[in-house]
Amino acid sequence: MKHLSLTARMSLMFMSAVIAVLTVAGLSFNMLSQHHFKMLDRQALVEKLESAKHILNNARSGASLSEELPQLRALLGAHQDLAATILASDGAVLFSDPRAVEVPERFRRADEQSMWEWQKDEHMYRGMTAQISVTDQPEPLTALLILDVTNHTHFFDTLQRWFWIGLVISALVSAALGWVVARSGLRPLRQVTRVATGMSARSLQERIPLEPVPQELQQLVLSFNAMLARLEEAFIRLSNFSADIAHELRTPVSNLMTHTEVVLSKKRDINAYEENLYSNLEELKRMSRMIDDMLFLAKADNGLIIPEQARIELADVVFKLFDYYHLLAEERGIELSLTGKGQVLGDRLMLDRALSNLLSNALRYTPAGKTISVLIRQTADSTTFSIENPGNTISSEHLEKLFDRFYRVDPARREGSPSNAGLGLAITRSIIEAHKGRIWCTSAAGLTGFHIEFPHSS
């Protein structure tokens, strides 16, 4: 069974609300109306009883009581649905209106001022019982006033029947109105659906305008537009990444083809062939390193890199790297300086690779005779690692892109080089993020620094 659409659900909810309100209002009106009619009936019975008491109290004997009967008939005849019966103490009927009906025995001894009712055949009656004292009569008389309220019953039956018919009609009308209102109110959602349906790689720049969107849906549209912006940015980066891969691999493949074609152009001695094979081997190694780096980044993007959790002293890792790069730094007259120490939980090999990328990058761009400074600080919440080197200041528009794959600040180096494919900083960021840390770059006044923060796990 298919789920109901949002329009259908809102229509049903609107119809249910209307039905509930009309039902409560109808039942309340019915109860209040019945109560009102019952109060009117009680008032009529009480007034007639009081008048009958006044007439009978003036009678002093049986003869005079008979004389009062016409007055009683005149009193009671004014109300066509009212009938009366007056009984003596022994049960003898002293007065009975022709419209009077036989009252059940239990009502003849009912409490005064209490209204009783009963149904006989298709008629509904209400009545009251009263004891009337007559002068010169040893026992009080019993007066029974009966009011035929069948018309009231028919009225309420008709009212209820029309109420249910009106309720059904109102439910259908409210369902139709609810559908129209819901469909009109959900028009922005249909617009979002149309945009999402027509979305493709060539239409990621399309956005939903906010002007016709109601306030309740503006946050949804803003989130959807933000998602489109992120998708557009990711697609552009992916397209650029694919182009960069082809661009970077083109150079070594072209070199391999050129060397091979030159060697095969004529017969050569064994040394020429051996030299060409060594040259090809260098290009193949470069391609292999590039492929390994791209596979590492692909794993990092999919969360497949899970570092070990060993306690590592960063100062020991840095001293080991200083020993490795000592000859290269000494050859260019560059000094390596370390200040501070701190421990982190992580994978030693991965951190060694990340810090090695930063140090080799600093050595590549530091002028001869300058100093590369490494600062390690540990606090109660985190451990920070900073490496700073003098050199050309990097423009602010490049700082955020330094960690993109194949990105190089110097346009002259965009074609790549045997030693640098532009993946080192991207790999470093992936390693740091795998350790729940963050990395950023600063560059000002001829001093460039890369900073890493490792938060301490709670």
Mean pLDDT of 8-29: 87
Residue 384, pLDDT score:
94
One-letter identity of residue 172: L
Task: Give 243 or 284, the one with higher predicted confidence.
Answer: 284
Q: Which of 229-238, 264-273, 367-376 has the lowest mean pLDDT?
A: 229-238
According to DSSP, the β-strands at 343-346 and 310-313 are antiparallel
CA distance 158 to 169: 17
CA distance 158 to 167: 14
Position 96 confidence tier, pLDDT thresholds 50, 70, 90: confident
Spatial strand order of the sheet with 382-390 comes to 335-339, 371-378, 382-390, 447-455, 438-444
Mean pLDDT of 100-111: 74
Mean pLDDT of 97-118: 74
Residue 387, pLDDT score:
94
Mean pLDDT of 306-322: 90
Kind and range of the H or E element at 201?
Answer: none
The residue written with tokens 């008491």 in the block is 53
Mean pLDDT of 231-242: 74
Judged against a pLDDT cut of 50, whether residue 412 lies above it is answered with: no
Domains of the chain as residue ranges with CATH: 6-172 (3.30.450.20), 215-301 (1.10.287.130), 310-455 (3.30.565.10)
What would the two tokens of residue 90 be? Answer: 């022994």
Angle between helix axes 187-197 and 215-264 (nearest 10 degrees) is 10
Nearest one of 426, 408, 438 to 294, comparing CA atoms: 426
By the 10 Å C-beta count (0-12 exposed, 13-18 middle, 19+ buried), 115 is classed as: middle
Mean pLDDT estimate for the chain: 80
Q: Which of 267-271, 340-344, 377-381 has the lowest mean pLDDT?
A: 267-271
**48-63 confidence digits (pLDDT tens):** 888 777 777 765 555 4
Kind and range of the H or E element at 449?
Answer: strand 447-455
Residue 362, pLDDT score:
92
Judged against a pLDDT cut of 60, whether residue 416 lies above it is answered with: no
Mean pLDDT of 389-404: 84
